[in-house]
Chain A
Amino acid sequence: MTFSDYLQFLLSGLTVGSTYGLTALGFTIIFNTTGIVNFAQGEFVMLGGMLGVFFLSGLGLPLPLALLLAVLATLLIGALMERLTIRPVQDAPVINLVIVTIGVSILVRGIVQIVLGKDTHALPPFTGSAPVSIAGAAVQPQSLWVLCITCGLLLLLRHFFSRTLWGKAMLACAFDRKAAFLAGIGVRRMVLLSFMISAAVGATGGVILAPLTMTSYDVGIMLGLKGFAAAVLGGLGNPFGAALGGLILGVLESFAAGLLSSAYKDAFTFVILLLLLFCKPSGLFGRRGFERV
């Protein structure tokens, strides 16, 4: 093993990790506003990719327009999901709402399977597929796109939640819905907004990942699981932690596959995750003893 091999593991891990991180980001947005863990988050990512493929090859639109439309359509689907499935039962306990999101994810998967088909598809990369060499390690240009866009989104969200009135209002809703309402915050609008933002973030992830990882109606399951693991690892509710949790998970997997055994890489990764959570139940960057209602 040479230095460039280790660098290759690291870069591969970061690419895979950013896919987990992007999904994890979506989890934190809805969790921050409603306390709901939205298990349909993986489906938002899938929808981004699959709708992108549909607009590009199904309708023959140019790539940038197709991707933009895919994100907007998913944003709309996120809004519809909140209106049709979450709002009618909004006073139910959180656990019921979580089950609702599982139902929605199965429904979305089923509809996409019937309407858009069961095949795997790939989107063309944004800027060619000739690999870029960094100190002997080869990287797809698309990986760099993914890393940059993930970082950009992360900074944007961080700014939104900590600096803007809307972001703070959304946080207040999760902390105490009633108090937020009394303080004049439109709680219902905030919940709707959180689903829309989270759907858009998921779909953005979906369209930038599809050239690299390909997409099909069932990619949401795995992404949802790993994304949730990343969000928990980073500390649920912290966007910075979620993204970093994803990257850590990806790098762990890559090194486990490269240095130990590729057959046991998932087992190895989840053992590490379990150990971390035993030592620090609130996640790496979660606040200790902080309880959300």
Chain B
Amino acid sequence: MRAAVLFLALAAATLLAAPCHAADPIKIGAIFSVTGPASFLGEPERNTALLLQDQINAAGGVLGGKIEVVIYDDESDVNKAVLAADKLVKKDRVAAIIGPSISGNTLAVMAKLDKADVPLVSCAAAEKITTPVNPWVFKTPQSDRHAVEKILEHAAAKGYKKIAVITVSDGYGQAGREVLKELVPARGFTLVADEVYGPKDTDMTAQLTKIKAQSPDAVICWGTNPGPAVIARGRVQLGLTVPLYMSHGVASKKFIELAGDAAEGLILPAGRLVVVEQLPDAHPQKALLKEYVADYEARFKTPVSSFGGYAYDALMLVVEAIKAGQSAKPADIRANIEKTTGYWATTGQFSFSAQDHNGLTKDAFEMVVIEKGDWKLVQ
């Protein structure tokens, strides 16, 4: 009880303290999984946040002052994420928090921040983060629902009827599986097989043999590297010729490298970052994405991934909300993020409302096909 009172007092102090230090930089907290199993998300996110912080400050900052992004690494560990959130609120007294990188950590941090009244813009994908809507919590990645809708739209256009799904048994795969099991029958398809594999499994031919025996029209695989690459190879090995859809979780060059020739012809929904050169010049995201890719690769000497874009969007939404409201008070930032409509960022066009704290639609995705080891936009 005493701890709770102290916590409230500190949270209140944060609120009161913010306007008194107008000359100080505006502090924005960030929690990313820079190391550990989710480092493929956290590392580009941290890099992007640093890049953006320097760019914004070089261009004159926000409200006449500079911004400072205070970044903590949660090491992909849920306890460390919660501790980091605590530190950001009590010690660093940040105006808003971006991250964490992964869904489990975000959900835990949300519970911790319940009474802190600091807006959180998560870089994790799970639907649970914004459904039901928590007034203080937003997220920038597309939901699994958007990806599934995009895939099924493509499958319906091709006239497929029988769909088989194979999903990884971790949080990402099972969240996707729930949506697939709901939407596949709802959109008039028949779900003929529902197979699962472990995140560390190295051979999925048993599951694929079972799927092949059901003779589906198309297979949908939901997972992150390296599992889907093993499945792509297994598909070629078993001579499974029906189309294989992947999720947006493998929309990185690494996947093509791992799957090798077996990646040819695979279809997946992806953010526009991977096909930026193929976008029509008039597309509102093209200039933005090209600039981000060029700046990122010039500074960090590594290829950009769409995951970094989630942090880009989260930080920009906070900064734009501060500018729009001319205030860096947490409550004002929250209200102004919610008022954001039609804002083009790296992931898509964000239009938030009191009922929608994700702000995206399935059109944040493009369908791409892998051809000759590269992405090709499906027209």
Chain A interface residues (CB < 8 Å from chain B): 1-2, 5, 8-9, 12-13, 15-16, 19, 113, 118-122, 129, 131, 138-140, 209, 212-214, 216, 218-219, 221-222, 253-255, 257-258, 261-263, 265-266
Contact = CB atoms under 8 A, between A and B. Distances in A.
Contacts of A138: 205, 237-239
Contacts of A131: 236-239
11 contacts: A2-B213, A5-B209, A120-B225, A120-B229, A129-B233, A138-B239, A213-B202, A214-B226, A258-B206, A258-B207, A263-B196
Contacts of A254: 203, 205-206
Contacts of B285: none
Given A131-B236, A140-B237, A214-B229, A5 B213 contact: yes
B371 interface: no
B254 to A, nearest CB: 6
Contacts of A255: 206
Contact of B203 (A16, A216, A221, A261): A16
Interface string B179-191: 0000000000000
B37 interface: yes
B213 A1 contact: yes
A43 B35 CA distance: 19
A2 B225 CA distance: 31
B207 A262 contact: yes
Interface residues of B, number: 32
B202 A8 contact: no
A262 B196 CA distance: 5
Contacts, number: 91
Contacts of B239: 131, 138
Contacts of B39: 118
A9 B230 contact: no
A2 B254 CA distance: 36
B198 interface: yes
Interface of B: 35, 37, 39-40, 169, 195-198, 200, 202-203, 205-207, 209-210, 213, 225-226, 229-230, 233, 236-239, 254, 257-258, 260-261
Contacts of B196: 261-263
Given A118-B40, A122-B258, A12 B236 contact: no
A257 B144 CA distance: 26
B367 to A, nearest CB: 25
Given A16-B203, A213-B230, A219-B200, A258 B260 contact: no
Contact of A212 (B195, B202, B207, B238): B202
A52 B40 CA distance: 22
A70 B170 CA distance: 32
Contacts of A212: 202-203
Contacts of B169: 263
B40 A12 contact: no
Contacts of A139: 237
Given A8-B238, A131-B237, A219-B200, A258 B209 contact: yes
Nearest to B207: A262
A262 B237 contact: no
A122 B202 contact: no
A255 B207 CA distance: 10
B74 to A, nearest CB: 15
A138 B225 CA distance: 24
Given A15-B203, A120-B254, A257-B206, 15 more contacts: A5-B210, A8-B209, A9-B206, A121-B258, A122-B260, A129-B261, A138-B237, A214-B202, A214-B258, A219-B200, A257-B207, A257-B210, A258-B206, A261-B196, A266-B198
Question: Which of A119, A121, A216 is the most central at the interface, judged by chain B CB atoms within 10 Å of its CB?
Answer: A119
B258 A16 contact: no
Contacts of A19: 202
Contact of B226 (A2, A118, A120): A120
Contacts of B233: 129, 140
A253 B226 CA distance: 19
Contact of B195 (A8, A140, A216, A262): A262
6 A-B pairs with the lowest CB-CB distances in the bound complex, closest first = A213-B202, A263-B196, A258-B206, A257-B206, A222-B200, A12-B205
A272 to B, nearest CB: 16
Nearest to B177: A263
A123 to B, nearest CB: 11
Contacts of B230: 213-214
Given A138-B239, A258-B210, A263-B196, A12 B203 contact: yes
